[in-house]
Chains A and B, each alone.
Chain A
């Protein structure tokens, strides 16, 4: 047979009949996707090359979208519960019956006591819409998932510099030369971070990973700092100590762009101790080096001092920077003094500090791009310090997370590396200082809307959400003295507070897209108990639960009324500037989803359902004067709703002719314009506005034009956060609004206006000799929380999760491959398989998050590995701290923001008899409301 007889291949087969551009929702990263359609089915999903977020790449989850879309776990129709809660027994009902049932529950509540509805949503991307609905309904009890997610990061960022890491900013990947990444496994910016890291590698920039676990990004980092969990604050402050000692801080930057020169009352006797010296117009004052007199910080031509102490009004006033230098130069922050606790050697700390200083100040970069600052001063170049940072839940999901995040921002700012070439840059709609955000609102009027938006950033005690008697106004106790700056609410406390009737009882719990009986709760077994508990009269303690999910998740089984959602390929959505948009540091952008496939089941887009529900309830904004619905559905809302005149959910293609950018009347063809444009809209920031955004006149003007703000709002970075000092002031007994006695000390200690480190609560609350190890979770790149397990492709990668145990622990307890262990915390005990890992902090164990499943959920076989060997660490984590001496139990959260302290967990470990090889605890099997998936799939055979 001659070689020329090789088969003739068709190397140009037809790929698809049509490509539809929409937005991925296999996670919250919001990448653009090209959905290839063949014979009316989804054939292939690839990244959209033009899309600002992913520029063509796609992660494993995104590529597995086909299996999610055709998942056997999809809910098929509205359902009402017919068996006991948790059993999974349901009966399908019509949408009419579902809507009528919901209205019959919600309408009377609204008339009498709207707060008896608690409406909490998960990781959806329509919070501006759901929040608007909840406000119109009038309940104060609304939030999304941020409280258990990463509010420490968000709040610390916004209070400090008007924007956070999270997905609200990014390193300047094209210019940075040294990148430090703290506590990140995946983050919301999954693809952009990977692309960025790839870019840094290409450019030969150095990456330092700070993480107890060396996997993922830390595996490719050039240097790994295997820090002890919960001690990043110490590590960062030690770096700051070393930098200050060496004078390696960017003074010019500090003077220009931060409140370093602001004068602070340093007189402990004064009632205004800790507050800024304010002049006329209430403007903070700085010391002018030329005149030696205090003047308004923004006076033209002022050269502020950072050194001089000022005496006035009978008190001593000192510049922020002086306080800062004093605080961090103190020996307790010296590398030697923190090394042991951090598990990082003093030499390493110093070397990293030296590297940061070296790159920041010796490898300064300049871009030939003139710009003008907010004071009108012209600069002929953009100067940058090419060190950049990123961080996420590894530092924020601790009870000292807020201050640790603040410390990191302080480090960035001292190095002059925020919003400069090579540094960290904000993505519009950020930067946006606290002043540009609302304060929280909670005033209830039966039958009427709430007095304002639920969530926001308190400026001081007056913004707390307290009832007349000082008790919590909200069911989650957000914005109380326990957690004053809980800017995202505290969803993780809702079920346990509602169950306890503390601060009050509710009637209906309405949730959307959050698997609260399982992986998004601490103490999952306890939560399942609370959801099924009955009172003396035999009624459920939480009387009614409405839930919207798209799939047969664990939470579905615990609800009374199910509103089945579509998959992400079957509905309209907007990824809005009013919410969490897809902007890049160089551009403003937003995007849509649209039904690229029509649903083949009796399911409806949840937001459309909510709009119809609003109309049936007659909520303001949702009905016309004649009582008819204002919006036909979500798509209609997206196109026609205006939040402020000319500003609506979508910023692109506004106005009748579709040319409006950011501002303009509603455009009846807007959604089509998005579809025609690839599913998104983008508008680039002009080059002169690309950096220094908070202080750049061109940026400020551009942002106003685009409707991001209504007037320019330049601001300074807050090294010293005065709102925190206001809470401390109250704790010292000043002011009308006073904390309860037992919290005074707590507030003083935790609300320090300059960041400081305190041990995680759990470390002080439990015997760390008895529970010597830290236990963590990480997100696997190829799995999204619980919702990936129904995915036939992804579940083969992560169908079960072992506990990874450090080599040291493994050896100390004589573990062998294939062994099992009992892992015990102060709260619970689990039995799990273990695997040795050496690239791990010596005192740490960890597992992949949310792989364990309840038998019977997700249309999986009850013997599925997810349900047998898979497990949740959540059983070990309590939503409450151990009782204090006074019997009080505080939530297991950051004392400032209420962020759930997932990673404070301490455990002990012992070898276990593997027994039947089933992890413990093992929740009883539920009935599957959707049956079980097919045996074999061979997708795509008919799509050639």
Chain B
């Protein structure tokens, strides 16, 4: 199973909108919460109340700062989970066949019954999307909530990943990138969705929608809005009252 399917029927994945993500970590915890008691072994927390707690998470949010000349520095929240790559190196390196990419929908999964916990797949993933669970000794990764998205025991509208359902800002979108008309394909096309580390040739399915250009300016004199609206009609209070008197007539 470590061979990759030459093509998958669907390419399910996430479009993550960095223009909207406020970095609240809701997706991080919701993911942990869903996955710890669903697919496979629980996501453990070692030294949970101690000096150096280390837990398994399938989705984490980094915060970066971007500095360019002549504009104030910018903060960027950056959630990261498995990108369900088309050429997933994590799959081909796996010696046991535990890692595989589903032919139906392209989801990359670890079949925990087969995993021997060698960690090689985590080495092969450029994005840090795989974490070995210290308690179970088994490789964990984002399942794209495969046990939610088709789950007939939950209402149809809830058949989306836990992180998508919970995101308060609506920054996470789930859909089929193989379908050019899907919500995610359209969003990605409109907003110039990017691949991460394209040079790694992993062909990630997930797309990141870059932040829209900021309106910030530091330099003075850059008034880009129709300023006639601020044309000073009334330099003094007296003048103002005169204007007011006239304006009131019109009401």
Query: Which A residues form the contact surface with B (CB < 8 A)?
Result: 1, 3-7, 9-15, 38, 43-47, 49, 54, 56-64, 66, 72, 190-191, 194-195, 197-199, 201-202, 206, 214-220, 222-224, 226, 242-248, 251-252, 255, 289, 303, 305-307, 321-322, 325-326, 329-330, 345-348, 350-351, 353-355, 357-358, 361-362, 781-782, 790, 792-797, 799, 807, 837-840, 859-861, 863-865, 868, 932-941, 943-944
Contact = CB atoms under 8 A, between A and B. Distances in A.
24 contacts: A1-B3, A3-B1, A3-B103, A11-B147, A11-B149, A58-B26, A60-B26, A197-B169, A219-B23, A222-B214, A223-B216, A247-B243, A306-B248, A307-B245, A329-B236, A351-B225, A351-B227, A355-B225, A358-B229, A793-B45, A796-B45, A839-B65, A865-B51, A939-B36
A195 B230 contact: no
A243 B17 CA distance: 35
Contacts of B55: 792-793, 796
B223 A194 contact: no
Interface stretch (B66-74, B82-90, B120-128, B196-204): B66-74
B26 A216 contact: no
Contact of B50 (A15, A840, A863): A863
Interface string B17-43: 101111111101110111011100111
Given A6-B102, A201-B17, A214-B73, 13 more contacts: A7-B109, A57-B26, A64-B33, A326-B237, A350-B230, A782-B25, A782-B29, A790-B49, A837-B65, A860-B49, A861-B50, A935-B47, A939-B36
Question: Max chain B CB contacts within 10 Å: which of A7, A242, A797?
Answer: A7
A933 to B, nearest CB: 3
B226 A354 contact: yes
B24 A792 contact: no
B58 to A, nearest CB: 13
Shortest 8 CB-CB contacts between residues of A and residues of B: A940-B37, A933-B49, A838-B73, A194-B168, A198-B170, A219-B75, A938-B44, A781-B24
Contact of B23 (A45, A56, A781, A793): A781
A224 B65 CA distance: 14
B178 interface: no
Interface string B155-182: 0011000100111111100000000000
Interface string B93-130: 00001001011000001010100000000000000000
| Majority secondary structure of chain A interface residues (helix, strand, loop or mixed) | mixed
Which label, helix, strand, loop or mixed, suits the secondary structure of the B interface? Answer: loop
A796 B49 contact: no
B22 A244 contact: no
Nearest to B100: A6
Contact of A354 (B45, B72, B223): B223
A195 B233 CA distance: 40
Contacts of A936: 44-48, 135
Contacts of A222: 212, 214-215
Interface residues of B, number: 105
Nearest to A204: B212
A57 B167 contact: yes
A532 B224 CA distance: 60
A937 B48 contact: yes
Contacts of A199: 170
Contact of A202 (B54, B73, B170, B211): B170
A795 B48 CA distance: 9
A63 B67 contact: no
B248 A214 contact: no
A364 B224 CA distance: 20
B216 to A, nearest CB: 5
Given A206-B215, A247-B234, A251-B251, A941 B41 contact: yes
A325 B240 contact: yes
A546 B231 CA distance: 63
B232 A245 contact: yes
Contacts of B241: 307, 322, 325
B235 A12 contact: no
B229 A782 contact: no
A886 B63 CA distance: 49
Contacts of B111: 7
Nearest to B56: A938
Contacts of B30: 46, 58, 60, 63
B146 interface: yes
Contacts of B217: 348
A251 B244 contact: yes
A12 B231 CA distance: 64
A49 B165 CA distance: 10
B62 to A, nearest CB: 12
B194 interface: no
Interface string B204-226: 00000001101111101111111
A15 to B, nearest CB: 6
A944 B67 contact: no
B214 A217 contact: no
Contacts of A66: 33
Contact of A358 (B21, B170, B226): B226
A347 B223 contact: yes
Most chain A beta-carbon contacts within 10 A, residue among B162, B215, B248: B248
A347 B221 contact: yes
A72 B50 CA distance: 12
Contacts of B231: 246
Nearest to A360: B229
A938 B41 contact: yes
Contacts of B166: 46-47, 57-59, 63
A760 B249 CA distance: 42
B189 interface: no
A170 to B, nearest CB: 14
A251 B216 contact: no
A215 B165 contact: no
Contacts of B168: 54, 57-59, 190-191, 194-195, 198
A11 B1 contact: no
Contact of A1 (B67, B97, B135, B227): B97
A276 B47 CA distance: 66
B138 to A, nearest CB: 11
Contacts of A64: 29, 33
A652 B245 CA distance: 50
Given A57-B168, A197-B20, A861-B51, A330 B33 contact: no
Given A782-B24, A796-B55, A935-B46, A246 B248 contact: no
B244 A839 contact: no
Contacts of A940: 36-38, 42
